[in-house]
Chain A
Amino acid sequence: MANLKEVRIRIASVISTQQITKAMKMVSASKLRRATNAIVQIRPYTEKLKEIIDNLQSNMEGNIDLALAEKRPVNKVLVVLLTSDKGLCGGFNSNLIKVARKLVSEKYAEQAAAGKLTILAIGKKGNDYFRKTGYQVDTRHLDLFTRLSFENSSVVSEEIISGFLAKDYDQVEVVYSEFKNAVVQYFKSYQMLPIEALEAPVAVKATKHDYILEPDQAYIIESLIPSFLKIQFHRALLDNNASEHGARMTSMDKATENAGELLRSLRLTYNRARQAAITTEITEIVGGAAALEG
């Protein structure tokens, strides 16, 4: 028979755990709301920028040679791995790490073996994992998520872009989690650099507007492409941030639910034990009284 006191202590500890998970869920829910707001905020900018680039492209006569689209033999690779700083968010980080490992082993096994692969870890969890595996891990921007803003993320993306131009890397991949909703995330990667070459349209579109281009087309495109890369990178960061909070919210909700179930069964055990103790006591008293009378 379970000891009454032991069960009582156990119940108290489960209750306090449940309170913590419940609070964490609430915190994540409000952080999630803020994170999804940020995604909504940058949408108009992203769409307009894309529209202008498309407009320019449809007016292009002849191809433009962009330094950022230069395809070189892949010698050095940079993998940017976005993870969270804290755990307790279900399989979120391990899924991201899995995507990164798969990417490295399938696409860049050669470069990794030659030590030509660097991982730029943003978020502590990715660093914790890859530090132990012997890859080169760049941790200069580890804490970017704690000060997430376009200004700060631009610093990182500008560094990546200039690194590519300086031939520090020949290919850059970003591993992140795309935010769908609080329950669904897509863990994936995209190739940040080199970008796909912009090609002049094969057939001239009927809706072609005759824009005046100042100073000239090449200049505008060259100044807009980095903006586009920066915003794309920032979007990946925001998505990853929202996904993290979504994942944490779901897993904490599950934990709260599990604690509730555990509590129910513990209370049943407790009451059963209490009842048994009372029954024994009554039997003893009755027995004792009978012995006195007899």
Chain B
Amino acid sequence: MALGAVQLFSLISRHNQWLAARQATLAGNIANANTPGYKALDVEDFNQTLDTLGLSMATTQPAHMTSGATQAPVAVRPEDTWDVTHSGNSVSLEQELLKAGEVNRAYRLNTSIAKAFNRMMLAATKG
């Protein structure tokens, strides 16, 4: 019984971690919206990262870099975007802001669930 709740908390924190990494990736895209040749990035789906979260990519050579702000728990991949400009930049501001809104909504949902569960557990312990 208690285990279920604890697992839910860890799931929420992992999902929020993923959302924060996604937000950082989107921020990088938007900041580089006018950089010639910049390709828009997005993180791997949460379903795919859920199992591997906590593991990091192997650095077999000293020149290998960790994958940016996400520090490897969340992999980053080039994203199919709505349009590519003449300069080779594939960032679409509308698309990125739409995704940022999505992140915001999911984050709010997660924190609300965590709050509600915390309240329930406190209600149970206080009696």
Same complex for A and B? Answer no
Q: Could you tell me which A residues sit within 8 Å of B by CB distance?
A: none
Chain B residues engaging chain A, CB cutoff 8 angstroms: none
